[in-house]
Amino acid sequence: MKAWLFPTNAGWVAAACSPAGLTNLTLPLDSKSECARLLLDIVAKNGCVNQPPGRESELHHLGQALDEYYAGRRDTLNFAVDWSIFTPFQRDILQVVKEIPYGTLLTYGQVAAMAGHPRAARAAGGALRTNRVPLVIPCHRVVQSDGNPGGFDGQPWIKTGLLALEGLKIGPDGRYSLRRWQYCV
């Protein structure tokens, strides 16, 4: 695994990848030192080896792509993910989530059903908590069945901010309207 720390127009980001693809991506942080500490934690947990062949250019483009996403000029972050870091159930759920289009919402129940686990809405939420590659696997596009955004690791303002960036506004009751979202993968 190789790890990087780089600035974007939204803050400092840490990323790591294996020869198969991304294994970690942080959401932007204001402080370079805070991001560096997080990167050290990632490396300590996963180890760090020489640059994976063919990934240097891709990771350079990741910073540029994140800049464009946060500036509203990019709606896809199509980067390879190392799926081996997830359990089979997590992979099922996260692969569905990776395909949710920009500006679209699905519920945990819809994601579970689309992944072939129709009775596993709560477990789908658990799988989303294991997502180590946010934005590339856009777990912020999944909400509760009543339109509540959900916890987002105790930072729901980040989720609502990302959804606002994608043109989705939360209602005065603190929920998203799900009536118009009829999407199938």
Looking at 35, 48, 139, 184, which residue is catalytic?
139
139 tagged catalytic? yes
DSSP string covering the chain? -EEEEEEETTEEEEEEEETTEEEEEPPPBS-HHHHHHHHHHHHHHH---SPPTT-HHHHHHHHHHHHHHHTTS-------B-GGGS-HHHHHHHHHHHTPPTT--EEHHHHHHHTT-TT-HHHHHHHHHT-SSBTTB-GGGEE-TTS----TTT-HHHHHHHHHHTT----TTS----TT-----
Catalytic annotation, residues = 139
